[in-house]
Amino acid sequence: RRAAMAGHSARMQRVSGGVPAPAPPRQAAIQGATWRSTITRAKRMAAELFYLDYKNGVQTEIENLFLELESAKQRVEALNQNVKSATEFYRLTNARFDNRLVGADELSRSIADLAAANSRLAAEQNRVYELGLRILLESSLKNFENKLRLP
């Protein structure tokens, strides 16, 4: 029967001037359904890929925030040592000033150094707090809201 259909098709092309004959209505409906299912499948796959890409992006962002947080915590430790050093230097300079071994400019410089060290420490501590909140916000809005609730 297929051979007969193939011969019929070839005859129709000769009669119609080389233009292929249209598919029978049932075959066209089957082809349309196949295309619709292919398009639906492609749309579903595209949505899944978009979701996975978004999910991977969020995961990467959270991992980067954790790395930044760890780095900021280490900087806080180093800045704590810096504040201790500046405090000790101020204490020594103040004692030398009281004994008139250094001038007011040296004392002022040690006070400014201590203030700058405290300022850098406070800024880095704020950074640690901010990164912690960003991690909570990225990971879950509910966790973020619970963390900010006042007692």
Task: Give residue-wise pLDDT tens across range 16-50.
Answer: 555 555 555 566 555 666 777 888 888 899 888 88
Q: What is the pLDDT of residue 42?
A: 87
The residue written with tokens 């978004």 in the block is 54
> What's the average model confidence in pLDDT over 100-106?
95
> Considering the chain, what is the average pLDDT of its residues?
82
DSSP 149: -
* Contact between 99 and 29 (Cβ < 8 Å): no
Phi-psi region of 21 (alpha: psi -120 to 50; beta: other; left: phi over 0): beta
Which phi and psi (to 5°) does residue 145 adopt? -65, -40
Q: pTM here?
A: 0.64
Whether 68 shows a pLDDT value over 70: the answer reads yes
Q: What is the pLDDT of residue 96?
A: 96
Whether 106 shows a pLDDT value over 50: the answer reads yes
Summarize the chain as % helix, strand, coil (round to 5): 85, 0, 15
